[in-house]
């Protein structure tokens, strides 16, 4: 199963007008988003380690939107209207949940140790360990994701890891 993005009116306008708000990499990804290709197909074409982050930025900025969910055998179905944006954090409970916070912290630390190694991410590991609450961990999310996708094995697993962390962070 894969996710398919399509350009919004703003995305089409950006292709024509070149406002300069996007980096060359973001613009290139936007050009390849066509409403038919899945994220995995885009990843194969663009050879981008930070594709998920770029797609999240384009979605949050209103250049693309979730268009469909591709299933096995090439079947597609329209995307549910209730799906959160690619980089959306889960809603926090009204009262602090220390168990959920520790689960998010442990997930970030364990995945960094497994895919990057303690020596490769020492500074980030220390900052995650000392982060103040969910806000502190959320501030480190982009750096965590980038470290994961920059590792060889993490690059393959990033798509599966991202939603698991977003559910608890």
Sorted by where each starts, the structural domains of the chain and their CATH numbers stand as: 2-78 (1.10.10), 98-168 (no CATH)
Q: Using 50, 70 and 90 to split pLDDT, how confident is the model at 110? A: very high
pLDDT value at residue 79: 56
Residue 164: what pLDDT? 87
Question: Mean of the pLDDT values across residues 24-51?
Answer: 85
CA distance 36 to 68: 8
Rounded CA separation 164/146 (Å):
16
For position 31, what pLDDT does the model report? Answer: 93
State mean pLDDT over 36-47: 84
Give me the mean pLDDT over the 138-157 stretch. 83
Q: Residue 140 in contact with residue 127, Cβ under 8 Å?
A: yes
What is the per-residue pLDDT for 82? 47
Q: What is the pLDDT of residue 128?
A: 94
Is the model's pLDDT at 64 over the cut of 80?
Answer: yes
Inform me whether the pLDDT recorded for 119 exceeds 90.
Answer: no
- Give me the pLDDT at residue 69, please: 73
Cβ contacts of 6 within 8 Å, gap of 6 or more? 33, 34, 35, 64, 65, 67
* pLDDT tier, 146 (very low <50, low <70, confident <90, very high otherwise): confident
Regarding pTM above 0.85, the answer is no
Return the pLDDT at 134: 87
CA-CA-CA-CA torsion sign (38, 43, 46, 52):
positive
- Mark 148-163 as b/e (b = at least 16 C-beta within 10 Å): bbbbeebbeebbebbe
pLDDT at 102 (0 to 100): 93
- Percent share of the chain, pLDDT over 70: 87
* pLDDT given for residue 8 in this prediction: 94
Classify 47 in phi/psi space as left (phi over 0), alpha (psi -120 to 50) or beta. Answer: left
């Amino acid at each position: 199963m894969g996710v398919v993005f399509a350009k919004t009116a703003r995305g089409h306008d950006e292709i024509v007008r070149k406002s300069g708000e996007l980096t060359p990499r973001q613009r290139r990804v936007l050009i390849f988003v066509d409403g038919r290709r899945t994220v995995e197909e885009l990843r194969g074409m663009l050879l981008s380690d930070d594709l998920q982050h770029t797609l999240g930025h384009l979605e949050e900025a209103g250049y693309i939107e979730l268009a469909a969910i591709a299933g096995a055998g090439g079947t597609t179905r329209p995307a549910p209207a209730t799906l959160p944006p690619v980089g959306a954090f889960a809603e926090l409970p009204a009262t602090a949940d220390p168990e959920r916070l520790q689960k998010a912290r442990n997930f970030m630390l364990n995945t960094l140790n497994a895919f990057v190694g303690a020596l490769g991410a020492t500074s980030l590991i220390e900052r995650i360990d000392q982060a103040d609450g969910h806000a502190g961990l959320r501030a480190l999310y982009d750096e965590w994701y980038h470290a994961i996708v920059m590792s060889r094995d993490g690059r393959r697993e990033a798509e599966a890891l991202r939603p698991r962390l977003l559910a608890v962070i």
